[in-house]
Structure 1
Amino acid sequence: MKKFRWEVLYCIIAIILTCLVVTSGDCFSKKIKIEVGQIAQQTIEAPFQVENELATERKRILAENTTPDVYKMDDKVLQKGIANIELLFNYVEALKTSGIPEEFGTSPVQILQSKSPIPLYEDEYKNLLGTSLNELDSLEQICINLLTNIMDAGVKENENKSLDIRTKLERTDLSTLQQKIAYEIIYTQIKANFVIDKEATALAKEEARNHVEPIYILQGERVLEQGTRVTEEAYAILNTIGYLSTDDSQNYSQFIGLFVLIFLILLFLYRTIRIDKSIMALTRGQASLIFILYVISLGLIRVMITGDYIYIPLAVAPLLISILISKDIAIVMHLILLVVAGVSHKADLVFMIYHLLSGLLSISIITSMQERKQTMRNALFIGGIQAALFVSLNLLVGMNISSKLLFKGAEAFLVGLIIVILVVGSLPLWEAAFGFITPIQLLELTNPDQPVLKRLLIEATGTYYHSLLVANLAETAADEIGANALMARVGGYYHDIGKLTCSNYFKENQVLDNPHDYLDPKSSADIILSHVTSGLELAEAYKLPKCVKDMIVEHHGTSMAGYFYVKAKNIEGDEVDPMDYSYKGPKPQSREAALIMLADVVEATVRSMQNKIGKELSVEDIVRKMVRQKFDEGQLDECPLYISDLEKIIESFTRMLKGMYHERIEYPDRKVK
Structure 2
Amino acid sequence: MSDSTEAPPVGQVSTTVWWRKKRYRVLLPVVAIVLIVMPLVVQAPPIGVTEGEPAQRTFRANRTVQFVDEPATALARQAAADSVEPVYVFDAQVLAEARGDVAAYFDAVRTTRPAMAENDTATVAALVTSLRGYDAEWTETLLTTDDATFGRAARAAEQLVTTVLSRRFSADELDAVIQQLTESAESLEFTAPVRAAIKGVATRSVQPTLKLDDAATAAARAAAADGADPVVIVKQAGENIVQQGEIVNSEHLEIIRRLGLLDQGGSVSSLLALFFLATMAVGTCAAYVWRFERRVFERVRDLLLVTVLVAGAIWVTRTILWLFPEISLFLLPVPLAAILATLLVNSRIGLLTGLLSTIGGVLLGFSEGASAVAMLVWSVSSVVAVSFMTERRRLFYVGMFLVAAGAFIGAVASLAAGEPTREAISAAGNGALGGMFAAVLGYGLLPFFEYAFGVTTDVRLLELASPSHPLMRRLMLEAPGTYNHSVFAGTLAESAAEEIGARGLLARVGAYYHDVGKLSRPSFFVENQSGSGNPHDSTAPGLSALIITAHVREGVKLAEENRLPAEVVEIIEQHHGDSLVTYFYDKAASESGAAVPEEDFRYRSARPQSREAALVMLADGAEAAVRALDKPSVPRIQAAVRSIVDAKVADGQLHDSDLTLADIDKVVAVYSKLLAAVYHPRVEYPETIPRRSVHAHRYHES
Q: TM-score, normalised by structure 1?
A: 0.69
Equivalent position amino acid for 2:455 in 1 = F
Equivalent position amino acid for 1:345 in 2 = G
Sequence identity percentage: 30
Superposed CA deviations along residues 213-269 of structure 1, whole A, max 9, x for unmatched, are 9873234656678645547xx7987897799999x9x93542343243123213312
**What is the match of residue 320 of structure 2?**
304
**What is the match of residue 434 of structure 2?**
415
RMSD, aligned α-carbons = 3.7
Task: Verify the 8 A CA contact 2:400 2:436 in the aligned structure 1.
Answer: yes
**What is the match of residue 353 of structure 1?**
373
1:184-195 correspondence runs (5 A): none
How far the C-alpha of 1:394 sits from its partner, in A, is 1.4
Structure 1 residue 268 and structure 2 residue 250: aligned? Answer: no
SS at match of 2:521: helix
**What is the match of residue 66 of structure 2?**
51
Q: Distance in 2 between matches of 1:269 and 1:381?
A: 28
1:254-403 correspondence runs (5 A): 254-278=270-294, 280-305=296-321, 306=325, 307-402=327-422
Q: Distance in 2 between matches of 1:494 and 1:657?
A: 20
Q: Distance in 2 between matches of 1:239 and 1:490?
A: 55
Q: Distance in 2 between matches of 1:40 and 1:279?
A: 58
Structure 1 residue 634 and structure 2 residue 652: aligned? Answer: yes
**What is the match of residue 528 of structure 2?**
509
Equivalent position amino acid for 2:679 in 1 = Y
Higher mean C-alpha deviation, range 393-402 or range 582-591 = 393-402
Q: Distance in 2 between matches of 1:214 and 1:264?
A: 35
Superposed CA deviations along residues 457-515 of structure 1, whole A, max 9, x for unmatched, are 12211111111111111111111011111111111111111112221121111122222
**What is the match of residue 472 of structure 2?**
453
**What is the match of residue 527 of structure 1?**
547
Task: Verify the 8 A CA contact 1:52 1:217 in the aligned structure 2.
Answer: no
Q: Distance in 2 between matches of 1:494 and 1:627?
A: 21
Q: CA separation of 1:317/1:3 partners in 2, compared to 1, >3 Å: closer, same or farther?
A: farther
Q: CA separation of 1:518/1:252 partners in 2, compared to 1, >3 Å: closer, same or farther?
A: closer
SS at match of 1:659: helix
Q: Distance in 2 between matches of 1:280 and 1:440?
A: 18
Task: Verify the 8 A CA contact 1:467 1:495 in the aligned structure 2.
Answer: yes
**What is the match of residue 555 of structure 1?**
575
Higher mean C-alpha deviation, range 235-244 or range 595-604 = 235-244
How far the C-alpha of 1:355 sits from its partner, in A, is 1.1
How far the C-alpha of 1:39 sits from its partner, in A, is 4.7
Q: CA separation of 1:544/1:244 partners in 2, compared to 1, >3 Å: closer, same or farther?
A: closer
Q: CA separation of 1:252/1:557 partners in 2, compared to 1, >3 Å: closer, same or farther?
A: closer
How far the C-alpha of 1:609 sits from its partner, in A, is 1.0
Q: CA separation of 1:603/1:407 partners in 2, compared to 1, >3 Å: closer, same or farther?
A: same
How far the C-alpha of 1:271 sits from its partner, in A, is 2.6
Structure 1 residue 23 and structure 2 residue 38: aligned? Answer: no
Q: How many correspondences in the alignment?
A: 511
Q: CA separation of 1:448/1:20 partners in 2, compared to 1, >3 Å: closer, same or farther?
A: closer
Specify which of 664, 676, 692 is matched with residue 658 of structure 1: 676
Q: CA separation of 1:354/1:569 partners in 2, compared to 1, >3 Å: closer, same or farther?
A: same
Equivalent position amino acid for 1:643 in 2 = L
SS at match of 2:631: helix
Task: Verify the 8 A CA contact 2:584 2:601 in the aligned structure 1.
Answer: yes
SS at match of 1:618: helix
1:153-172 correspondence runs (5 A): none
Q: CA separation of 1:235/1:579 partners in 2, compared to 1, >3 Å: closer, same or farther?
A: closer
Superposed CA deviations along residues 39-93 of structure 1, whole A, max 9, x for unmatched, are 57869876653324469999x99xxxxxxxxxxxxxxxxxxxxxxxxxxxxxxxx
Q: Distance in 1 between matches of 2:62 and 2:688?
A: 90
Equivalent position amino acid for 1:265 in 2 = A
SS at match of 1:611: coil
Q: Distance in 2 between matches of 1:438 and 1:243?
A: 39
Q: Distance in 1 between matches of 2:376 and 2:280?
A: 19
Q: Distance in 2 between matches of 1:544 and 1:400?
A: 53
Task: Verify the 8 A CA contact 1:40 1:224 in the aligned structure 2.
Answer: no
**What is the match of residue 602 of structure 1?**
622
Q: Distance in 2 between matches of 1:537 and 1:464?
A: 18
Equivalent position amino acid for 1:651 in 2 = A
Q: CA separation of 1:409/1:230 partners in 2, compared to 1, >3 Å: closer, same or farther?
A: same
Equivalent position amino acid for 1:353 in 2 = V
- Structure 1 residue runs without a partner (length 5+): 62-208
SS at match of 1:399: coil
SS at match of 2:389: coil
Q: CA separation of 1:230/1:467 partners in 2, compared to 1, >3 Å: closer, same or farther?
A: closer
- Structure 2 residue runs without a partner (length 5+): 1-18, 78-226, 691-702
Q: TM-score, normalised by structure 2?
A: 0.66
Q: Which has the larger radius of gyration?
A: 2
Task: Verify the 8 A CA contact 1:31 1:244 in the aligned structure 2.
Answer: no
Q: Distance in 1 between matches of 2:443 and 2:363?
A: 29
SS at match of 1:51: strand
Specify which of 484, 487, 490 is matched with residue 465 of structure 1: 484
How far the C-alpha of 1:624 sits from its partner, in A, is 1.4
SS at match of 1:216: strand
**What is the match of residue 155 of structure 1?**
none
Q: CA separation of 1:31/1:265 partners in 2, compared to 1, >3 Å: closer, same or farther?
A: farther
Task: Verify the 8 A CA contact 1:48 1:348 in the aligned structure 2.
Answer: no
How far the C-alpha of 1:285 sits from its partner, in A, is 2.8
